[in-house]
Amino acid sequence: MCTLTYLLTEHGYEIYFNRDEQRARLLALAPQFNSSREAIYPIDANGQGTWLALSQSGLSLALLNNYQAAATPVNENSISRGQLILSLLDKVKNVPNDADIMTQLKTLDLTVYQPFVLCVFPSDLTLNNINIGVVKWGASQLTQCTADLPITSSSVDFNAVCLKRQQRFAALVDKAHPQSEQLKVFHYSTEAQGKHSVQMSRDDARTVSISHLSVTENLVSFEYFDAVEGVGSRVTRGRLGVR
């Protein structure tokens, strides 16, 4: 139950991410900079992991649920999907180039996670160097995907939700010349039928946060809006050299 879009520039990129969760779920902790992982990310209060992270080098990792895949049997070894990004951040510190993140992913035991979609935005990503990685995990298989926009997940009426959000995206975003403000309007938009809207609302679930990540030559920035509390925050860091 999430929506992700991105915008490439000559000197970096931007990401917008709506996180949708059950109303009964605890509110997440706002993003902070973790010095040991050299990354900015929020913390899910239930699983103590994260769904979105931005490293000081400019690498971003985003995680969505893959509801359409067969669920992995839950056992004593199962762990929260949100731990996946933290594990990858730990691993990427030990490799010379974060483009190897897919290789690092394949070294992990993915059977402990429920199905997911992982989006990888490398630190050297620009309009002139497009190398976004999107993979789906489910049914004991890791599958490479295209990064078509918007990237959406939904546990309810998936096909209809995807279609409505695609139509909304086409109406609000100039495909030939996309602008950051257009993506922002898209992510804050609502529809008469709450489950179809990008800023989603259902009886059992809702959009709980809207994040905006920005990577330039000199700066990384993580803007976070808690849609439940109506409170915004921003964490910025001087960017480390591209690995």
Question: Which residue has 């706002």 as its token pair?
Answer: 30
**pTM above threshold 0.85:** yes
So what's the pLDDT on residue 155? 84
The CATH code for residues 2-238 is 3.60.60.10
Domain boundaries, the chain: 2-238
CA–CA distance, 29 with 32 (Å, rounded to integer): 9
Q: Of all residues in the chain, what percent carry a pLDDT higher than 90?
A: 76
Cβ neighbours of residue 17 under 8 Å, at least 6 residues apart?
A: 2, 3, 4, 51, 52, 62, 187, 210, 211, 212, 213
Q: What is the mean pLDDT of residues 201-209?
A: 92
The number of helices, as runs of H, and strands, as runs of E, in the chain is: 4, 13
What digits encode the pLDDT tens for the residues 34-83? 999 999 999 999 999 999 999 999 999 999 999 998 787 888 888 999 99
Total Cβ atoms within 10 A of residue 227: 19
CA–CA distance, 129 with 178 (Å, rounded to integer): 17
Kind and range of the H or E element at 114?
none
CA–CA distance, 32 with 30 (Å, rounded to integer): 7
How would DSSP label each residue in 39-101? EEEEE-TTTS--SEEEETTS-EEEEEE-TTSPPPPP-TT---TTHHHHHHHHHHTTSS-GGGH
Q: What is the total residue count of the chain? A: 243
Residue 97 banded pLDDT, cuts 50, 70, 90: low
What digits encode the pLDDT tens for the residues 114-145? 999 999 999 999 999 999 999 999 978 899 99
Residue 242 banded pLDDT, cuts 50, 70, 90: low
